[in-house]
Amino acid sequence: MLRNSVREFPAVAPLPSRPHEAPILAASGIDQRFIVKGRTTTVFDAFDFAVEEGSFVSIVGPSGCGKSTLLKLMAGLESASGGEILFKGKRVDQPPKGVIYVFQQYNKSIFPWRTVLENVGFGLEHQDGLSRASRREQCQEYIRLVGLEGYESYYPSQLSGGMQQRVAIARALVCKPDVLMMDEPFSAVDALTRATLQQLVLKIWQSLPVTVVFVTHDVDEAVYLSSRVVSLGRAPAHIVDDVRIALPYPRDAVRTRSDARYIAARERLLSRILAAETACPVDAKPERAEQPA
């Protein structure tokens, strides 16, 4: 069970109709430890966390609290020291089919020698029963969805950073995942591009049957995008706040951010993160073999 109660912000319009019967992803009793120069650093200690199917969950918290580590554990990209991760009720020991991870460094995750069309089609190359024409048709569908129609023959070096991130998103979506995991996907783009990509991700989430788990340092971004925001405390990480953002969709970049409920959620989350930062000075942070972001 979560250690903190979930606060509701009343909606003025209904949220999208989504199934919420059971968690699609669950972490139970997770331990994660690193040993550095004979000293053990604990990132998670008996940590529990669950993600409802169809939800958009953002994870925020101070730098180094384990946000990205949690995402990698749930995606099967890293192994926990103890506890278990379940995806659709089955234990995760490796990256499960149905979970796709979009990395922060998009320019390193797409192939520079492949065109947009070839990059997007990479995940379909080894799927049995798909003809070349069918693969191309599916790729075109998701290229259109992310707004890159007309750029199919371009190489990554010929695209802006925001367009490269769209390629990475389309490549993830063409595999039709149940869960899309995104690790600070917009941190390296300018403010205007970031706002455009935020709207794109919301459009994707509202139009496709996909659960999104989103890591960000930006509390404003988390509140704006999400149906739920989970705030982690410093390592060993624990849930210090769990807030349901029951603002209506579709969300508007101007009107939503001026809503009193948006402002209240932002202030609540941000104040707790800043309090945690103040309580742990920079020079008191433990040394780590790996910095979980």
CA atoms lying within 13 Å on the CB side of residue 240: 20
Q: Are residues 182 and 58 in the same domain?
A: yes
Query: Is residue 107 included in any domain, yes or no?
Result: no
Last residue of some domain: 126, 151, 175?
175
Contact assessment for residue 183 and residue 168, using Cβ atoms and an 8 Å cutoff: no
Query: Is residue 162 included in any domain, yes or no?
Result: yes
Q: Are residues 223 and 242 in the same domain?
A: yes
Q: What is the CATH number of the domain that holds 15?
A: 3.40.50.300
Contact assessment for residue 69 and residue 27, using Cβ atoms and an 8 Å cutoff: no
- Tens-of-pLDDT digits for all 293 residues of the chain? 333 333 343 333 334 444 455 799 999 999 998 887 778 888 888 999 999 999 999 999 888 788 999 999 999 999 898 999 999 999 999 999 999 999 887 777 899 999 999 999 998 887 777 788 888 999 999 999 999 999 999 999 999 988 999 999 999 999 899 999 999 988 878 888 889 999 999 999 999 999 999 999 999 999 999 999 999 988 788 899 999 998 999 999 999 999 999 999 999 999 888 876 776 544 444 333 443 44
Q: How many residues are given for the chain?
A: 293
Q: Are residues 70 and 145 in the same domain?
A: no
Q: Are residues 93 and 20 in the same domain?
A: yes
Q: Are residues 183 and 171 in the same domain?
A: no
Contact assessment for residue 148 and residue 116, using Cβ atoms and an 8 Å cutoff: yes
Domain containing residue 239: 6-98+177-284
Nearest residue to 69 via CA among 27, 108, 32: 32
* DSSP secondary structure letters along 74-103: HTTSS--SEEEEEETTEE-SSPPTTEEEE-
Query: Is residue 83 included in any domain, yes or no?
Result: yes
Q: Are residues 12 and 86 in the same domain?
A: yes
Q: Are residues 94 and 15 in the same domain?
A: yes
Query: Is residue 37 included in any domain, yes or no?
Result: yes
Query: Is residue 255 included in any domain, yes or no?
Result: yes
Last residue of some domain: 160, 175, 190?
175
Last residue of some domain: 125, 151, 175?
175
pTM for the model stands at 0.84
Query: Is residue 14 included in any domain, yes or no?
Result: yes
Who contacts 10 (Cβ-Cβ below 8 Å, separation ≥6)?
Answer: 246, 261
Query: Is residue 139 included in any domain, yes or no?
Result: yes
pLDDT at 150: 94
pLDDT at 14: 35
What is the number of structural domains in the chain?
Answer: 2
Nearest residue to 95 via CA among 25, 37, 6: 25
Give the integer Cα–Cα distance in Å for 25 and 35: 28
pLDDT at 11: 36
Q: Are residues 76 and 213 in the same domain?
A: yes
Q: Are residues 66 and 181 in the same domain?
A: yes
